Chain A
Amino acid sequence: MPVTFTFGEFLGARSVIGSTLAELGEEHDNLWVITPDIGATLVEFRDRFPERFLDVGLAEQASVGIASGLAYDGNIPVVSGMLPFLSMRALEQIRTDVCYPNLPVKIIGTHGGLVGNGGSTHYAVEDLALMCALTNMTVTSIGDPLMVGEIIRQSMSMPGPIYIRLAVGKKDMVLYEPGQHEVRIGKGIVARDGSDVTIFTHGTTVAQALQAADELAEDGRSVRVVDMFTLKPIDEELIVRCAEETDGRFVVLEDHLAYGGLASRIADVAADRGIRLTAFERLGIPQVYAGFGEDEQLRDKYGYGLSATVAALRRAVAA
């Protein structure tokens, strides 16, 4: 039942996870889905393949350890849950039981960034830094709900682990027309071309970057928006090309700690490749434990909302 959506519509990435896994369960009889009590999105898979669905209850460490055992035995396990808990409570299992033996376990979850209004216990804000540190791990952060399905599908043939980060996944903006861009793990997407400055981002802030680019267009400035949905391995060639083509003017926007996530990955590439940057602006979460509020309010409060993004782009262009 292929469903089509068009740009600007809202769609639950969670429902895409559920329907994609149910389809893949048909194609791969060794696909398992494991969840620590976050099964609402997985009902379709659970109902079709109850023998390969496992809800372990509140037990994140066991969920990943069990996935490891399944993968050692030749299965493809998907662990789906809330990322603040999977990425921290089960961090050692992810590192030692999955990444060390390089097993094809997929970690898919929600609550990446200051989303969901759950308070700092329920915001995954360090997760990308933690996951990028792990040898063998591929790290992604997806904003476009339709892309989620495509990434899960591509990950089926990967020999090693992958981390797939979503925001809340209840209501995400469709960013791309189906087939508009080539979507390939490890390759950034130029969501909009431009020549004055590049803004790199991932996840739900891609939509905000596109809006900011619109505002700069009113100033007569041309902003390139790059959806760097794969943080590891990072698309170095695209970074090099953007530096050349937008005069070394970079802004990085992310719903993650400003240090340790995509901005740090790009800064590493710039340092290692000897890229001379004219401007480098980081927009992300400062070193605070954020309180409550709606997503946009929190982004504004912590300095990476739309107006801050527009201001950073203007500074970068003027530098």
Chain B
Amino acid sequence: MSRSTLPTAEEPHTVAELEDLAFELRSKLLELCGTYEGAVHIGGDLSAADIFTALFHYGLHVDPTDLRNPARDRFVLSKGHAAVCMYITMAMRGFFSYEGIVETYGQLDSAYGMHPCKVQLPGVEASTGSLGHGLPIAVGMALSARGRGESHRVVTLLGDGETGEGSVWEAAMAARSNKLGNLVAFVDRNRQLMTSFAEERVVFEPYPDKWAAFGWNVVHIDGHDMAQLVEAIDALPPTDSDRPTVVVCETVKGKGVDFMEHNLAWHAGSLGAADLERAMAALLASREKESV
């Protein structure tokens, strides 16, 4: 079975270009977090920013001008509270207008809110937000593709905290039982729940082994290393193979802004003008440090 004929991003991006895009995404996230008065789930947006960038600008075969193209890869955001990160990534990829997001986010009748709604925002594949729901939905989509003999991939992004939900493991068993090699789950392993650090109250380790025990093909990478993300995407098994793949991405909640990193206070929050300036400076400093 050959891969979807739909192209990925217009130009195959180099790792350096993808890193630039991830930086731009983080800047835009902070901008929104600084202008919107309500809470933005900035910690889990920043931890997932590199994964989103690698998927939408490199890995996923999607067409922003043809949202219902049957050959498109399906992306289900299981960690629905990272909706802003998805909206902005998709805007950068040409799906939506970034200005439209910033100007209307969270307001009455806006299509852009805290958790994605497919009905209000075509282009989003599923309405999510309640945790533990995305993987079962993705399994259904992967079965559908199999049933029709289609060769696209179904990709979902989960948070590690969310994998405490039993429904995730019900779906993990179903995916293996039905040999869904066309299904890929990325896990944003940022090791923080809303009010505690992973392993502190909830023990997830040995984490990749849990997925392996469910019969999944397990890839374990640094979720902030763009080269590793690209490599993991390149190495995904063919869609007619018989094992689902999980890419466990080790990440840092709040990544790129030093005062947000590893800080439970920044699960969700709002930046005032002064803090926005401080956050932008921190993001820039982090980038300079990493490029040395």
Contacts and interface: CB of A to CB of B under 8 A. Distances in A.
B125 interface: yes
Interface string B110-127: 000000011100000111
Interface residues of B, number: 32
A13 B141 CA distance: 31
Contacts of A66: 136-137, 139-140, 143, 171, 174
Nearest to B178: A54
B170 A67 contact: no
B140 A70 contact: yes
Contacts of B133: 65, 92-93, 96-97
A71 B136 CA distance: 12
A92 B130 contact: yes
Interface stretch (A56-64, A119-127, A234-242, A286-294): A56-64
Interface of A: 32, 51-52, 54, 56-57, 59, 61-62, 64-75, 77, 92-93, 96-97, 100-102
A224 B140 CA distance: 46
Nearest to B140: A69
18 contacts: A32-B147, A56-B173, A57-B173, A61-B132, A61-B166, A62-B167, A65-B140, A65-B171, A66-B174, A68-B126, A68-B140, A71-B140, A72-B137, A73-B145, A93-B133, A97-B126, A100-B119, A101-B126
A97 B133 CA distance: 8
Given A62-B167, A62-B174, A92-B133, 13 more contacts: A59-B173, A62-B136, A66-B137, A66-B143, A67-B140, A69-B139, A69-B141, A72-B137, A93-B167, A96-B127, A100-B117, A101-B118, A102-B119
A4 to B, nearest CB: 35
Interface of B: 74, 76, 117-119, 125-127, 129-130, 132-133, 135-145, 147, 166-167, 170-171, 173-174, 177-178
Contacts of A72: 118, 125-126, 137, 140-141
A97 B170 contact: no
A100 B127 contact: yes
Q: Which 7 A-B pairs have the closest CB atoms?
A: A69-B140, A65-B136, A62-B170, A59-B170, A73-B144, A69-B137, A66-B140
A102 B118 CA distance: 10
Q: Is the interface of B mostly helix, strand, loop or mixed?
A: helix
B125 to A, nearest CB: 7
A25 B30 CA distance: 51
A238 to B, nearest CB: 32
A74 B174 CA distance: 20
A8 B177 CA distance: 44
B216 to A, nearest CB: 15
Contacts of B144: 69-70, 73-75
B143 A54 contact: yes
Contacts of B173: 56-57, 59, 62
Contact of A61 (B126, B141, B143, B170): B170
Interface centre among B127, B136, B145, B167, by most chain A C-beta atoms within 10 angstroms, is B136
Contact of B167 (A52, A65, A67, A101): A65
B136 A73 contact: no
B167 A61 contact: yes
Nearest to A57: B173
Given A62-B170, A73-B74, A101-B118, A96 B140 contact: no
Contacts of B138: 69
B66 to A, nearest CB: 16
A59 B174 contact: yes
